[in-house]
Amino acid sequence: MRMGMMGLKGIVIAAGLAVAGLSAAVQAAPAPQAAAPTVQGTTPGQQAAAAPGNVANIAPTTASATPPADAASPALAMDGAPAMSSAEVNKAGPDGRNIGRPTDGMFDIQPQVTRNGQFAYWFHNKILFPLITIISLFVLALLIWVVIRFRQAANPVPSKTSHNTAIEVIWTLAPVAILVAIAIPSIGLLQAQFKPAPAGAVTLKAIGNQWYWTYQYPDNGGFEITANMLKEKDQVAAGERFRTDADGPRLLAADNRVVLPVGVPIRLITTSNDVIHSWAIPAFWMKLDAIPGRLNESSFTIERPGLYFGQCSELCGPRHAFMPIAVEAVPPAQFAAWVRAKGGTMPGRNADGTAKSSSKVIPQPGADANPTEKAGEFVTPPAGLDPATKPLPATPQGATNNRTGAGNAGM
């Protein structure tokens, strides 16, 4: 009887402890938060981002992004850029290929609008493709001949020949000659792709983020724009902007377009805030990796006005396929009007009338040979950014595990 009472008492004590622990856990748990309201539009300083239908359609810009100086300017009539409809400027040419965008069912390289692209297109079609076709047919013919000529029925007694000097010389020298013929134009093209931009070039700095692009114009006052993919009509809430045919193809249309002048050298500088991205425009023959902590540079000159599309070409995360690039190429005078409407400035000219070379230093903290850092010298942080006096502000970029951003960009 006594043992039974003791067992009953133990059960009561254990139950009491369990109830106390459950109460403590309930008190320590955070209160449930109300579901985030559906975003019906964007506010100044925010851009509509691409996202699944159940995720907020918001991505913050960086602190340096500024509103346009003249929001009513016709230079900002569409996607923050001069009015240029994709349905009009991307029509197929005489050969059936679209200009600046993919062509359904077409097995070919996009029409090229830069010197390097035109040379690469010629090199591919006139040298590489015929060469690989001839080699493939030759090897196929050899295989067929060997199968027929040296089959057991036709060759019951195998030859004991171990080598043939003439054949060995031919099959050694022929590949060497082919590789040299390919190497000469290949090295020239590679050198041209990374040739430094001349004086008077327009500098475009493209910064990759998970998962959108930020652009800066250091030579034009340093203003900044942020570009996100436009979603489809059935993926947005009422009142939100969605993609139309005028914006561009599905998965390639952006809410803010990059604007660049035609006939003026472009200095492209890429970097990243989180992981490796790649800025690629097929019609420019341009693909330049954006690496955290590094500045990569290339240059090109657009020879034809139009609207050109590309996308991130480096696997950068689960939403890698939703980082489109949209570039409007316009005449220099129209580009200057767009820069002023965005609140930027145009660089001056030399006494002889030529454009001044870029005087802007584009540092990257931690990069090798940073022009703002001397060897062995500590660079004093700007006022208000010294960690000893004031904590560094949290970046609003949508990097991995960054919860400071709003909506989808901070995922």
Helices (H), 304-345: 332-341
pLDDT at 157: 84
Give me the percent of the chain exceeding a pLDDT of 70: 67
Distance CA 195, CA 126 (A): 24
Which among 7, 6, 9 is positioned nearest to 17, based on CA atoms? 9
Contact between 256 and 328 (Cβ < 8 Å): no
DSSP classification of residue 298: E
Tokens describing residue 340: 């002023």
Q: Which amino acid is at 153?
A: A
Would you report the helix, strand and coil content of the chain in percent, each value rounded to 5?
30, 20, 50
pLDDT at 19: 43
pLDDT in tens, 214-270: 999 998 888 999 999 999 988 888 888 888 888 888 999 999 999 999 999 999 999
pLDDT at 179: 92
pLDDT at 329: 93
Place of tokens 């010197």: 115
pLDDT at 152: 85
pLDDT at 307: 93
pLDDT in tens, 56-101: 334 444 445 667 887 778 888 888 888 888 877 766 666 677 888 8
Distance CA 121, CA 300 (A): 15
The segments of the chain whose pLDDT lies below 50 read 1-9, 12, 14, 17-63, 365-382, 384-390, 392-411
What is this structure's pTM?
Answer: 0.68
Which among 311, 285, 294 is positioned nearest to 228, based on CA atoms? 311
pLDDT at 173: 94
